[in-house]
Amino acid sequence: MITVRGLTKRYGGTLAVDGLTFDVRAGRVTGFLGPNGAGKSTTMRMILGLDRPTLGRALIAGRPYADLRRPLCAVGAMLDARAVHPARSGRAHLVAQARSNGIPLRRVDEVLEQVGLAKAARRPAGTYSLGMSGRLGVAGALLGDPPVLVLDEPVNGLDPDGVRWIRGLVREQAAEGRTVFLSSHLMSEMQLTADHLVVIGRGRLLGDTSMAEFLAAASPAAARAVVPDPEERAALVRRLLTADGVTVEASESGELTVEGRTAAEIGDLAHRCRVRLHRLSDVRVSLEQAYLDLTARSVEYTTGGYTADTTAVPAASDEGER
């Protein structure tokens, strides 16, 4: 369990993280989303005691990271996969970490095997490919068999096989009751991996909800139906449009896109009016779309765009000076 309370980080003039408060609970995968520069990595560094919060605190199982006695056995972290001394072999890198935390050395070979690096283990880490570095990073996170995992873009640079392997790994870890907190920009992957989402933008919390709620909130009920007969199609559309809040779009091929009704409702209606359907399905909004809608609504990240509130302040002061 990770507890973040009023966490704030200021770097000179930039407020990288702005009063974040949320919990990362055990037994589920919590995805951490936000545009570039939103403050995800900074938040994770503060959780791991690498950056000092300007305000607020981040606790792991109720304690600050610096107070953990054998930290690698309490939290497994992967921040920057490339942050390994290039002359050290992958194995030597892990051995040093294991020694410092009283982890038996046989565990080093176990995790190297687990991440598929056993063959390259004795080569200098500087010769690893991006994906291999990523695997070494994951090996380091798993080393102490920790109940909490904090992973910053773990699938970055992994091949499709690796991406699927990470997905299976973190889901398995969460199913065992561990706490998993991971960031990623791959929305389709996140949709398959995470149970819960924490979304930030410009350092501020935009959302802290379950994946299902997040998707449901973003998409009103919608469905597609294919009605082969034009007359029946027109009849169905008329019936659908009698209700408020329902919109129907018809494509040339005869496919109807209905917003405000689920597939089940349309199916029932079609049955009642004796309309033949060739295909009927709910339209599910993707996490990508839901995420883009949320960030677009809550501000500004569109390239070169400005928010109402950021432009309002300087504009007002400009006028005051004139």
Partner 1 sequence: MQPAGNAAASSAVLVQFTVVVLATVAVTSEYATGSVRAALLSVPRRSRVHAAKALVVAVVAFVAGAAFAVVGTAVAWFGFDGRASFSVGLSLRQVLAIGLYEALVAVLSVGVAFATRHPAGALSILATLLWALPSILLGLGGPTLAGLNGRLPHGAGERFMRPAAEAPYGSVTAVLIVAAWAAAAHVIGLYVLRRRDT
**Which residues of the chain form contacts with partner 1 (CB under 8 A)?**
45, 48-52, 65-68, 71-72, 77, 79-80, 82-86, 88, 93, 96-97, 100-101, 140
- Binding status of residue 7 toward ligand ATP by CB under 6 A: no
Which residues in 184-214 are b (16+ Cβ under 10 Å) and which e? beebebbbebbbbbbbbbbbbbbbbeebeeb
Chain residues 109-168 in contact with ligand ATP, contact rule CB under 6 A = none
The side-by-side arrangement of strands in the sheet containing 222-226 is 247-250, 255-259, 222-226, 279-282
Which of 4, 29, 33, 38 forms a contact with ligand ATP (CB under 6 A)? 38
Stretch that binds ligand ATP, among 37-45, 103-111, 118-126, 174-182 (CB under 6 A): 37-45
- Binding status of residue 19 toward ligand ATP by CB under 6 A: no
Q: Write down the least CB distance from residue 88 to partner 1, Å.
A: 8
Helix (H, G, I), strand (E, B) or coil at 76: strand
Q: Write down the least CB distance from residue 57 to partner 1, Å.
A: 15
Which of 42, 156, 179, 193 forms a contact with ligand ATP (CB under 6 A)? 42
Continuous segment of H or E residues that includes residue 23: strand 14-24
Helix (H, G, I), strand (E, B) or coil at 70: coil
Choose among partner 1, ligand ATP, Mg ion, none what residue 100 binds, the Cβ cut-off being 5 to 8 Å by kind: partner 1
> By the 8 A CB rule, do 283 and 289 touch?
no
**DSSP single-letter state for residue 181:** E
Could you count the other beta carbons within 10 Å of the beta carbon of residue 217? Answer: 14
Closest CA to 105 of 116, 92, 123: 92
Using a 10 angstrom Cβ sphere, with 0-12 exposed, 13-18 middle and 19 or more buried, the burial of residue 222 is middle
Which of 2, 4, 22, 34 forms a contact with ligand ATP (CB under 6 A)? 34
Task: Measure the CA–CA gap between 155 and 255, rounded to whole angstroms.
Answer: 38
Choose among Mg ion, ligand ATP, partner 1, none what residue 68 binds, the Cβ cut-off being 5 to 8 Å by kind: partner 1
Which of 3, 30, 41, 89 forms a contact with Mg ion (CB under 5 A)? 41
Q: How many residues bind Mg ion (CB under 5 A)?
A: 1
Query: What tokens appear for 299 in the block?
Result: 């501000």
- Binding status of residue 220 toward ligand ATP by CB under 6 A: no
- Binding status of residue 184 toward ligand ATP by CB under 6 A: no
Which of 2, 22, 24, 41 forms a contact with ligand ATP (CB under 6 A)? 41
Query: Which residues share a beta bridge with 37?
Result: none
- Binding status of residue 260 toward ligand ATP by CB under 6 A: no
Task: Measure the CA–CA gap between 237 and 212, rounded to whole angstroms.
Answer: 30
- Binding status of residue 184 toward Mg ion by CB under 5 A: no
Q: Which is nearer to partner 1, 54 or 289 (CB)?
A: 54
Which of 40, 91, 167, 196 forms a contact with ligand ATP (CB under 6 A)? 40
The side-by-side arrangement of strands in the sheet containing 14-24 is 14-24, 2-11, 55-60
Helix (H, G, I), strand (E, B) or coil at 32: strand
The residues of the shown chain that bind Mg ion, judged by CB under 5 A, are: 41
The residues of the shown chain that bind ligand ATP, judged by CB under 6 A, are: 11, 14, 16, 34, 36-42
